[in-house]
Structure 1
Amino acid sequence: MIEHIELFFKSIFIDNMVFAVFLGMCSYLAVSKKVATAVGLGAAVIFVLAITVPLNWLLDQYLLQPGALKWLGAEYADYDLSFLSFIMFIATIATMVQLVEIVVEKFSPSLYNSLGIFLPLIAVNCAILGGSLFMQAREIETLGLALNYGVSSGIGWFLAILAIAAIREKIRYSNVPAPLRGLGITFIITGLMGIGFLSFGGMLTGGDEEEAPKEGEPTSQVETIETETETVVELANNTKIIE
């Protein structure tokens, strides 16, 4: 349970897709002019990551890793299909994005028109593929953790685009210097937000594990004080004997 909570908060705040590794910046900059549009795209990204990361975890565990085909029989245990990782991951992502596009067009035509070309472009959004590749690099052990990582990574991207969209709506009425209007001030604000998210770097890192005391060493602060006191008394006695 603690592992799930730690992964959830780290993926949102510390390893944020936008502010930590700068993935998905094209959609982040292009679709963040209005909050309503940003919310729609952010929700679509959460859905796609929540589906594709667990699916790609299953593909990685039972098809792509070296020896993953041993469930088919001993003669397949030496097969290594890891070179197909990119192709399989992208195929899964493209399928899910197509499904999202169909659903959005059916139930929210206005949002579909607002997102325009950027909805099908989720298929080539590096944040989506990055979620599956980071899952593979982290060597996530269970399907539950893979689902957790997909959802939390999507929420992190959603918070990033929602925050910048809210700020961009406000700065329209601000006196921004002419050379910085548009993407210029957006990049500056993104950098400042990235620095702010770096402040979460100390969260959930845990403390240093206490080393087991060696034989003959004190095991507590009280014993340390007692040992030091005995040493001082012994030195004093030896000094008197010498005198």
Structure 2
Amino acid sequence: MEHVELFFKSIFIDNMVFATFLGMCSYLAVSKKVSTAVGLGAAVIFVLAVTVPMNWLLDQYVLRPGALTWLGPEYADYDLSFLSFILFIATIATMVQLVEIVVEKFAPSLYNSLGIFLPLIAVNCAILGGSLFMQSRDIQTLGLAFNYGLASGIGWFLAILAIAAIREKIRYSNVPAPLRGLGITFIITGLMAIGFMSFGGMLTGGEEKTETTDEVAKVEVQSQDTTEEDESLAEVSQEINNK
């Protein structure tokens, strides 16, 4: 259940684009055609699904305070957390270079259409944000880290695919001149963000219902205890009056 909840929350509620507005450069620049948006979105899914678990391993066994205890007790006091940014970015840059080589080899037309934005995935703040959010959320297992990375990539993919499809259709619309281009794109992005955030009530409704039920149960227990105390006091008072 935890995996499913994290998966859907990462796609809809905590969407990289609509919730935190990360990766907006490539989101706006490569979303003019659906074909290029699909290619870049697939690359982002792959990079996030690979780098987040790898950076989780780095965080757990190298970077955290006391993470080096597996080397021996003399390393228990080491804290390498100040190297998080450097190592995370190095991991991301390595995987992006691998993706760039594969795309150039097997899909040269897509490689040419993506242009500079494919290697720029290495400095895409959505990719680094995935690893940093994983670290701040204190994800406990490698499976959850992979789940979070994959879901975050799918969320970013859906965002750029949706805006690309809308921008292709909006070319035939009579958009006011001052709003053409990025203006109408930002407005549509804001409206899409509101739509995605509306999923929050669906995915957290069960938790709120459980919390409300627990609160009601606590109030009932407290009222029952108060009633029992009142009955005991009444019995004691009656005994005193009888005496």
TM-score, normalising length: structure 2: 0.88
Structure 1 residues 142-153: aligned runs within 5 Å: 142-153=141-152
* Aligned-pair CA distance for 1:13: 0.1
Match of 1:114 in 2: 113
* Aligned-pair CA distance for 1:203: 2.8
Structure 1: which 5+ runs fail to align? 220-226, 232-243
1:196-230 alpha-carbon deviations (Å, 9 max, x no partner):
112112232212151454767449xxxxxxx8xxx
Match of 1:210 in 2: 214
Alpha-carbon RMSD: 1.8
Structure-2 separation of matches of 1:216 and 1:93? 54
Structure 1 residues 1-243: aligned runs within 5 Å: 2-205=1-204, 206-207=207-208, 208=211, 209-211=213-215, 212-213=217-218, 217-218=223-224
Structure 2: which 5+ runs fail to align? 232-243
Structure-1 separation of matches of 2:22 and 2:222? 53
Paired AA for residue 161 in structure 1: I
Task: Return structure 1 stretches of 4+ with deviation > 6 angstroms.
Answer: none
Structure-2 separation of matches of 1:161 and 1:172? 17
Paired AA for residue 184 in structure 1: G
1:165 is paired with a residue whose SS is helix
1:62 is paired with a residue whose SS is helix
2:78 is paired with a residue whose SS is coil
Paired AA for residue 36 in structure 1: S
Among all aligned residue pairs of Structure 1 and Structure 2, give the percentage whose two residues are the same amino acid.
85
Aligned residues: 221
Paired AA for residue 120 in structure 1: P
Structure-1 separation of matches of 2:75 and 2:16? 37
1:203 is paired with a residue whose SS is helix
Structure-1 separation of matches of 2:116 and 2:223? 68
CA separation of 1:31/1:216 partners in 2, compared to 1, >3 Å: closer, same or farther? closer
TM-score, normalising length: structure 1: 0.88
Paired AA for residue 102 in structure 2: V
Paired AA for residue 81 in structure 2: S
Structure-1 separation of matches of 2:108 and 2:157? 21
CA separation of 1:218/1:85 partners in 2, compared to 1, >3 Å: closer, same or farther? same
Structure-1 separation of matches of 2:191 and 2:144? 31
